[in-house]
Structure 1
């Protein structure tokens, strides 16, 4: 019994140590990415037909979203979710809520009527898009829109969650749906921001130009 208790304590210590390590890395990434992003929103005017709406804890997916918006001359909106701020508390909440589709976000709604194409960006949490992007879809209309979901992630996603997301978007009126993604790698062996952007462009830009 004593040995079992020791093993349990050691296991808990190991888990906490990993979480603390991951939280520290995320904070470092968030600081670095904030220098790249500077402004979290960039409204260029209703004449633009593309908008990129993204949720991103540490800013990796946000940097990708800003790059997409810049290259398409579109608007960029970064969703805020205070519950999931970088750090140990936010990471713990993210893990607990990962499979949900409800979150407190700002802004909750956006007037999407001026746009033809809506890019929705999010990291993958436990194989599914994060709750804030589900919440955004739940609260907005995509009638007549082309919707592109893009994700960055460490491990993998499960197609059933992407299918559920597609169905939700189409239930909200979208006429087409496309899924794009870039695998960044495990936390201690991730590709650089520059490579993240290059992988997305090399994988999807040529197809975009042919449309």
Structure 2
């Protein structure tokens, strides 16, 4: 009996390793594709603009969308880094363990958002909630009188109560308006391309009026 238990545990360990290996291979492939797509328009210097895009993106899917939003809004892009969640099996395990948390070690921890009226905050959805580095960034920063837009990409779904909790945190730090935008990119092995990701975003939100993003004057008073 003990022998069969040991065989089962060994087989399970092998299976888990294979799954983790395949997932990280897919993530690395996605990162390479997204970097190539992103490089087509990246490299702009910070300038006088009223829109900031702050993004955490592990394999680059949400990063592509962040740069796309920047081209549409003429905004500045800031990337949040979290060494604990780097590509690879250790980073994947950490991401799975922490997915429902809201605490993370990030760099930069704070950004001076004074010049901006609208701040886009982006991350993937991990286990139905925005990734922990984005929660940590909101906790650390001041959004007084800002219009905040949360944007996400995800492979399955998000749960609205996590979005509501995120909105509450943003508003507690001074935001006067909150909007949520998102694109479902599909599960690993069958995800849409970077080009289709941005196209779907445009199809969904290009007709959204300015008032829906920044709120009307009554909401801001």
- Shorter-chain TM range is over 0.9
1:127-166 map, 5 Å: 127-166=128-167
1:44 aligns with 2:46: yes
Unmatched segments (≥5 aa) in structure 1 = none
1:79-90 map, 5 Å: 79-90=80-91
Count of residue pairs brought into register by the alignment: 210
Which residue is equivalent to 1:192? 193
Cα distance, 1:8 vs. partner? Answer: 3.2
Cα distance, 1:43 vs. partner? Answer: 4.1
Are 1:41 and 1:76, in contact at CA under 8 Å, matched by a contact in 2?
Answer: no
Residues 209 and 168 from structure 1, CA distance in 2 versus in 1: closer, same or farther, beyond 3 angstroms? Answer: closer
- Report the Cα distance in structure 1 between the residues aligned to 2:201 and 2:82, rounded to whole angstroms: 25
Residues 8 and 152 from structure 1, CA distance in 2 versus in 1: closer, same or farther, beyond 3 angstroms? Answer: same
Which residue is equivalent to 2:54? 53
Q: CA RMSD in A?
A: 1.7
- Report the Cα distance in structure 1 between the residues aligned to 2:118 and 2:10, rounded to whole angstroms: 51
TM-score, with length taken from structure 1? 0.93
Which of structures 1 and 2 has the bigger CA Rg?
2
Q: For residues 77-115 of structure 1, what are the alpha-carbon distances to aligned partners after superposition, in whole Å with 9 as ceiling and x for unaligned? A: 111111111111111111111111111111111111111
1:54-69 map, 5 Å: 54-69=55-70
1:103-122 map, 5 Å: 103-122=104-123
Unmatched segments (≥5 aa) in structure 2 = 213-221
TM-score, with length taken from structure 2? 0.89
Which residue is equivalent to 1:33? 34
Cα distance, 1:5 vs. partner? Answer: 3.7
